[in-house]
Amino acid sequence: MLGVRCAVAAALGRISPRATEPLLRRALADPDPWVQVAAIEAAEKSGLDQVTEPLELLAASPDGLRAASAVRALAALNRLGGPVLEAAARHRDPEVIKEALLARAGRPEGSRLALELLAHRRWEVRILAGRVLAASGGKDCLAQISSALESEANPLAREALSEALEAISAR
């Protein structure tokens, strides 16, 4: 039965968005996390922004898979707002944090968020923060990146920060 509910939830993203809104809401509220993940992905594909509220609730989930999927869906729907973004950036699961950072890459709030995450405890988050800054950071970021580079112990994160300094300096 679970497999059927997951398949139905996944198929909702390929049907007319207006016709599926009630069914999508129901699937997003399903008690099974796998059905919810399938529904989140369907919501992202559907472009149906009327399901923003249940997606925001799922973005706050302690479960990293549901939260990261919901953050990605909200970003795709252009509905990832301030409080949800801030909560995602402080989630305990680094995958959720990375989704929040990717969702704002190339925007001013993305650089601000990336600068905050240069001190994150997880190296993979620091690497992504460096890459986001390399792509979109301004000269005003150079001092903070240099400072982070001085204290960075992870060689891959050091490389990402060095690349960020080079890319920003070359602009």
pLDDT tens for each residue of 65-77: 999 999 999 999 9
- CATH code, 109-171: 1.25.10
pLDDT tens for each residue of 4-55: 566 655 665 566 666 678 888 999 999 999 999 999 998 998 888 899 999 9
Q: In the chain, where are the structural domains located?
A: 1-103, 109-171
Tell me if domain 1-103 and domain 109-171 are identical in fold: yes
Q: How far is CA 97 from the centre of its chain?
A: 6
What amino acid is encoded at 79 in this protein? Answer: R
Angle between helices 82-89 and 64-76 (to 10 degrees): 140
Q: Provide the CATH topology of domain 1-103.
A: Leucine-rich Repeat Variant (1.25.10)
Between 107 and 78, the more confident residue is 78
3 state SS of 81 = coil
With beta carbons less than 8 A apart as the criterion, state whether 164 and 135 touch. Answer: no
With beta carbons less than 8 A apart as the criterion, state whether 66 and 48 touch. Answer: no
